[in-house]
Amino acid sequence: MRALRLALALGVFWIGLVSHALADNTVGPTNQVICNQVAQSNPVTATTALLVAGITGKSIFSCGWHVTSTQATSTTFQFVYGTGATCGTGQQPITPPFNITSTAPSADHISIASYQIPPGNNICIITVGTTIGDAVAFYFSQF
């Protein structure tokens, strides 16, 4: 009987050590960021257009995009961040340039944020082509 009590006590002690070790090795943020906003644009010429205005001290968290085109020929878009009206100061890419046509839109959208923009920066879209005719939706959260 004494051996059984000792075995049970050691088992409980071991479980406590393992659960404590697992709790100390948590990787990643404690809370997921859920995107609850969408910015829309409809650029019709080659341009750099502001999608989301940055707020001092607040980060923008990206969950993705959906971009379509009315053009049969390939046109290009890219999301960037930076400061200034067209993200021209300190401009950094969020995505590489993507090609789309009227039969091949581009979408990459999940409900939790996968990319954090540094506080105070704007989000812009760069479009290339004479007549783009894109419909752009950029999913994000900002706080």
Flag whether 29 is in a domain: no
Flag whether 1 is in a domain: no
Flag whether 93 is in a domain: yes
pLDDT higher than 80, residue 5: no
Flag whether 112 is in a domain: yes
pLDDT higher than 80, residue 58: yes
Of 79, 77, 60, 63, nearest to 112 by C-alpha is 63
Q: Find how far residue 7's CA is from the centre of its chain.
A: 50
pLDDT (0 to 100) of residue 26: 46
Flag whether 21 is in a domain: no
pLDDT higher than 90, residue 53: yes
The structure tokens listed for 120 are: 């105070």
Confidence band for 21, pLDDT divided at 50, 70 and 90? very low
pLDDT (0 to 100) of residue 1: 59
Confidence band for 10, pLDDT divided at 50, 70 and 90? very low
Task: Supply the DSSP string of 29-81, one letter for each residue.
Answer: -SSPPBP-EEEEE---SSEEEEEE---TT--EEEEEEEEE-S-SS-EEEEEEE
Boundaries of domain holding 59 = 37-142
Flag whether 28 is in a domain: no
pLDDT higher than 90, residue 15: no
Looking up residue 137, the CATH number of its domain turns out to be: 2.60.120
d(CA 24, CA 15): 14
Residue 125 and residue 77 in contact, taking contact as beta carbons nearer than 8 Å: yes
More confident residue, 3 or 91: 91
* Amino acid in position 30: T
Within a 10 A sphere around the Cβ of 14, how many other Cβ atoms?
Answer: 10
d(CA 50, CA 64): 16
Highest mean pLDDT, choosing among 13-27, 86-100, 118-132: 86-100
pLDDT (0 to 100) of residue 37: 96
Residue 39 and residue 79 in contact, taking contact as beta carbons nearer than 8 Å: no
Q: What is the pLDDT of residues 105-125, one digit of tens each?
A: 899 988 899 899 999 999 999
Flag whether 53 is in a domain: yes
pLDDT higher than 90, residue 39: yes
d(CA 37, CA 135): 16
Helix, strand, or coil here: 46? coil
pLDDT (0 to 100) of residue 124: 97
pLDDT higher than 80, residue 9: no
- What is the average pLDDT value for the chain, to the nearest integer? 82
